[in-house]
Amino acid sequence: MLTDKMYAALNDQIKHELYSAYLYLSMATYYADQNLDGFAHWMEVQAQEEVEHAMKIYKYIQERGNRVILQQIDAPTTEFENPTAPFAAALKHEQYVTSLINNLYTLATEENDYATQVFLQWFVTEQVEEEDNVGKALHLVEQLSGAPAGLILADKQLGKREEE
Ligand code: FEO
């Protein structure tokens, strides 16, 4: 069994991961509406990854003998100023999620919960990758979005993202 504090914090993290999926889907549909199908694809893949993150925690809580209590998920932003804005917002969001994972790890240490520390190490590493992926995509979009041809090129490039 998890301690009460550890359980509550992990249970909360499921909501944050599912909100992330919701946010990236919102960005995907914004791009699809702008006929930027490559950007939309990139965001759809990202959203799928977030559901996988949520499911990892969901299964872990159950493995530890606790019951998951799903919480309300906030509505995501639906309007963006320009095609660069969602990627900039995504990077900020990933930095926020990294801080949440770090807080979970700190709590697992305080609770002397060694199994959860090991479990969370995957997420610590994953967040490095998440920030790097979004940061690189943002950089590409920023570099190329000055001109319509550049935007199409960036769209093509990000449309190649494979599911992991
Ligand atoms: Fe689940 Fe993008 O962090």
Which stretch of DSSP H or E encloses residue 94?
A: helix 85-110
Q: Minimal CA–CA distance to 126: which of 164, 159, 161?
A: 164
pLDDT of residue 147: 80
The owner of tokens 């090991």 is: 118
The answer to whether residue 134 sits within a structural domain is: yes
Write the pLDDT tens digit of every residue in 91-110: 999 999 999 999 999 999 99
The owner of tokens 């939309």 is: 40
pLDDT of residue 75: 97
pLDDT of residue 144: 84
- The Cα 39–Cα 58 span in angstroms is 29
- The Cα 125–Cα 110 span in angstroms is 20
Structural domain of 44 = 4-73+82-158
The answer to whether residue 119 sits within a structural domain is: yes
| Residue 9, domain CATH | 1.20.1260.10
For ligand 1, the distance from its centroid to the CA atom of residue 147, given in whole angstroms, is 31
The answer to whether residue 163 sits within a structural domain is: no
The answer to whether residue 164 sits within a structural domain is: no
In short, whether 17's Cβ falls inside 6 Å of ligand 1 is: yes
> In angstroms, what CA-CA distances link 3 with 106, 113, 155?
14, 8, 46
The answer to whether residue 14 sits within a structural domain is: yes
Q: Do 11 and 30 form a contact (C-beta atoms < 8 A)?
A: no
The answer to whether residue 30 sits within a structural domain is: yes
For ligand 1, the distance from its centroid to the CA atom of residue 90, given in whole angstroms, is 10
Atom of ligand 1 nearest to the CA of 54: 1
Total domains in the chain come to 1
Residues in the chain: 164
The answer to whether residue 47 sits within a structural domain is: yes
Which stretch of DSSP H or E encloses residue 121?
A: helix 114-144
Write the pLDDT tens digit of every residue in 22-48: 999 999 999 999 999 999 999 999 999
pLDDT of residue 150: 87
Atom of ligand 1 nearest to the CA of 17: 1
Q: Do 15 and 73 form a contact (C-beta atoms < 8 A)?
A: yes
The answer to whether residue 104 sits within a structural domain is: yes
Q: Which stretches of the chain drop beneath a pLDDT of 50? A: none
